[in-house]
Chains A and B, each alone.
Chain A
Amino acid sequence: MTTSDSILEVRDLRKVYKKGLFSKSEVAAIDGVSLQVGRGSVFGLLGPNGAGKTTMIKCLLGLVRRFEGEARLFGLHPDDPASRRKVGYLPEAHRLPGHLTGRQVMHLFGALAGSSPEDVKKRVDPLLERVDMMKAADRKVREYSKGMQQRIGLAQALVNDPELVFLDEPTDGVDPIGRAAIRELVTDLKNRGTTLFINSHLLMEVEMICDRVVIMHKGRIIRQGTIDELTPRTGAVRFEIGSVPTNLKEILAGVGADFALDGHVVSLKVNEAELDQAIDRLRSARISIRSITQRRATLEESFIGLVQKGVQ
């Protein structure tokens, strides 16, 4: 990817905080991060608490200033407000102005984002409908539940029809139905070519939504890649079989290791040659094989493994 293709670029980004007002010791919230993001992908930003995920997003959005290295949004420095013109942001634990109604929030943030009144007007109702807040749109935000605030927060992040959206814990406080709706919304955005940055601790959700994942730890990126790249095969193969004879263990004796039976599912740890051998033996015993799947590590397993390795 060339620099001109990327809508987000950070190079050797470093943000250091002093530990106290008079202290000389410093702590690096971000320590030399480099990242380039093209259009239309969904990025999962993972990392334990204090990894520097939110700080990196804030550096890009101009909320955190005076950092070292380089950061660019749409080719512009974050200190330039114009860099955020095509950006939507839903911060973690955000607080919307309680004196406004949901609809007024949408209009205010639409205007602040630089959209024309006509565009804002056109987009408010469909977005409120989309996040299922139409009925509560004319109630004051302070009367909303946490889930409702989260949904209005998400809607305001999209009111300017952004090309790049940062979502920090977007499903926090939202019920399962709401989560499904948010996932659907994210998928829609992805299909429309919007680039999304999702920062979440719910790794299953990230796994379901994201194309690429960046894992940060102690201010550094320790791994990035597609979900497939980050979830390697474990070598375990699962056979779903039609019938389970009593001598199944004997039939497969000597083939692979870690034999396990769970109903009609047999698990075995095998290499490629052993896989063929296991299929042959099952077929020879007239056992029908309904499916064969190679088991991968979950994102959670990979994440914990990487972080623990990082700690060591």
Chain B
Amino acid sequence: MNAHTSKALLQDAFYQVLDNKVFRILVILSICLIAPTFLIAFKPTELDVLFGWQTFKYSELGVLGAGAAATKDAHIAAIQGLQDIFIEGLAGTFGIMLSLAATAFFVPRMLEKGEADILFSKPAGRFVLLFARYLSGIVFVGLLAFVLVLGMHIGFLVRSGYSDPAFLWSALTLVYVFALIHAFSTMVGVLSRSSITALLMSILFFGFNGCVHNVLWLNKEHAVTQIHERIEASDSAEAKETLEQMDAPLLQTLATAIDVTHYVLPKTGDAAFLVNNLRRAVSAPDFAFEDPVGELRFAKEPEGFVRSGWSGRTIDLSTTTATWTSVIDSSNISASRRTRVNDKTSSGAPKRARSSSTSAANELVKTLNSQPEIVKKAERARDPFDRLVRDLVTWSEKRGDTVVQRQRAFLGLGNWLFEFDFEYDDAWVARGGDVDALQEFVSGARPDGSSASSLDADKWYAKQFGWTSPLRYNAFFSILSSLAFALIMLLIARWKLSRIDF
């Protein structure tokens, strides 16, 4: 096939797409999705609708990811929430389904008597002509994805000043997902030579495929990992029993069947995780520092304090105590981590147990209140917030001639207990200091663990999935095995096409 033929086939694909009524409807729908990004400005604290006509505080809305305001700017959370809804939700499911419906007839119609006779009598290989039709479908979705993603990107950039280059990859992943399912549709189209069959089978396959990966396999993996984590953490008899139940032949067969189906079918569900991976790689980190071993991230440093004796974005708080000193006096804040797992012997059998942040706080209160230098008795308060429970102990102690105000926050996460200390003198407030500095700092702490027990299935898988992960969670494996599936579909179509008598 020469360049002229390729160009003519591409041109034909383009004309076919532009002529398609469903394509035109989808372009209009895409414009409807893009329009709000130009009409609504996502400002740091509020939404500005129609150039100041109406404004809404994020706290009043309580949606669009504003809950993540503590870890990053609320308007960015809202924009990313919208991008996820529009691209992954609407375009990634309904958009793909509509595109499948609109393109399912491309191949069967080409194989109908009359059109096939004239087309396949030309000196171009049968597969070349089939592949051109397959490409038509990809052009169809490629144009739509390009319009939608670029339009939204420009809208957010112009009106909200937000630009996330990784978001542009969403267009590619939409095309990628469609290309995988469209290969199946092409194969069915050749085998059945019926538009209706190709349409129904493609949509059913899309649904089934999503169900296998995003529901069955992902939840199975999450549940199994959770059980193993529980066994490892507490050695509980209950967890062991669950594991034994999982060894039942029926469950084993079911798990194997889910695994095989997952590995064979194209992993369309991974597309969203691919975008997130790219987004993470391209975007600046949205945290100030992290303790990777303790799996805790901090959105910000203590306000009005500077680091003392350490630097960088990562720190192991079990070996290094992070310290900050006030910019106005010698007041300081420190953070450290220790294990909270204790090995006990219960009725003759060894048993592992975790102590809670509350028990650690109570123990401190007890110890402090028995000491003579304590001026104001220690008190404990609880501060539950977003899956993390913090216990705060406050007291005053005499140190020489001065009275020092103390605060210690305890935070339990996994097998670790984090401790945050804050000490300041009586003149701290007079000098402009903030007595809530510790609480504000600790409120920016977010678990960033990869343990199945601490995350829901989606978030857990997002953590596992990566370019260097083990094979079952590996991004390269996901892409290559999915492309292999598409290739096999096209090869079957090619084989069948070569045997058709028109």
Interface residues, chain A, CB within 8 Å of chain B? Answer: 17, 58, 61-66, 81-85, 87, 89-91, 93-100, 104, 107-117, 140, 153, 156
Contacts and interface: CB of A to CB of B under 8 A. Distances in A.
A66 B129 CA distance: 20
A249 B129 CA distance: 72
12 contacts: A58-B501, A61-B121, A65-B499, A85-B123, A87-B123, A91-B118, A93-B113, A93-B114, A95-B114, A104-B11, A109-B122, A111-B8
A66 B120 contact: no
A186 B123 CA distance: 23
Given A58-B502, A97-B12, A99-B19, A114 B115 contact: no
B8 A63 contact: no
Given A94-B115, A107-B8, A114-B124, 6 more contacts: A58-B117, A104-B11, A111-B5, A112-B8, A113-B123, A114-B5
A153 B114 CA distance: 11
B502 to A, nearest CB: 4
Contact of B118 (A62, A83, A94): A94
Interface string B437-464: 0000000000000000000000000000
A107 B7 CA distance: 11
A100 B15 contact: yes
Contact of A89 (B16, B113, B121, B129): B121
Contacts of B204: none
B501 A65 contact: yes
Contacts, number: 100
B2 interface: yes
B115 A95 contact: yes
Contacts of B7: 111
A98 B109 CA distance: 11
B502 A95 contact: no
Contacts of A85: 123
A100 to B, nearest CB: 6
B502 A97 contact: no
Interface string B25-44: 00000000000000000000
B120 A62 contact: yes
Given A95-B112, A104-B15, A62 B121 contact: yes
A142 B125 CA distance: 26
Nearest to A29: B501
A91 B502 CA distance: 11
Interface string B216-247: 00000000000000000000000000000000
Most buried by A among B11, B118, B498, B502: B118
Contact of A117 (B4, B114, B121, B125): B4
B117 A100 contact: no
A116 B19 CA distance: 26
A96 B118 contact: yes
Most buried by A among B4, B15, B113: B4
Given A66-B501, A108-B8, A111-B4, A81 B114 contact: no
Contacts of A99: 15-16, 18-20
Contacts of B116: 63
A185 B275 CA distance: 60
Contact of A91 (B2, B114, B499): B114
Nearest to A120: B4
A63 B120 contact: yes
- By size class, the interface of chain B is 20 to 34
Given A94-B114, A95-B114, A107-B8, A112 B501 contact: no
Nearest to A166: B121
A159 to B, nearest CB: 10
Nearest to A157: B118
B273 to A, nearest CB: 37
A25 to B, nearest CB: 18
B300 to A, nearest CB: 57
Contacts of B121: 61-63, 84, 87, 89, 91
A97 B117 contact: no
Nearest to A63: B502
B119 interface: yes
Given A93-B114, A97-B16, A64 B501 contact: yes
B125 A81 contact: yes
Given A91-B114, A94-B114, A96-B118, A114 B123 contact: yes
A106 to B, nearest CB: 11
Contacts of A83: 123
A144 to B, nearest CB: 14
B502 A112 contact: no
A84 B123 contact: yes
A267 B125 CA distance: 60
Nearest to A61: B121
Nearest to A140: B19
A195 to B, nearest CB: 16
A108 B11 CA distance: 8
Interface string B107-144: 00000111111111111110001000000000000000
A142 to B, nearest CB: 9
What 6 pairs across the A-B complex have the smallest Cβ distances?
A111-B8, A95-B114, A99-B19, A91-B117, A112-B122, A84-B123
Nearest to A85: B123
Given A112-B123, A114-B2, A156 B15 contact: no
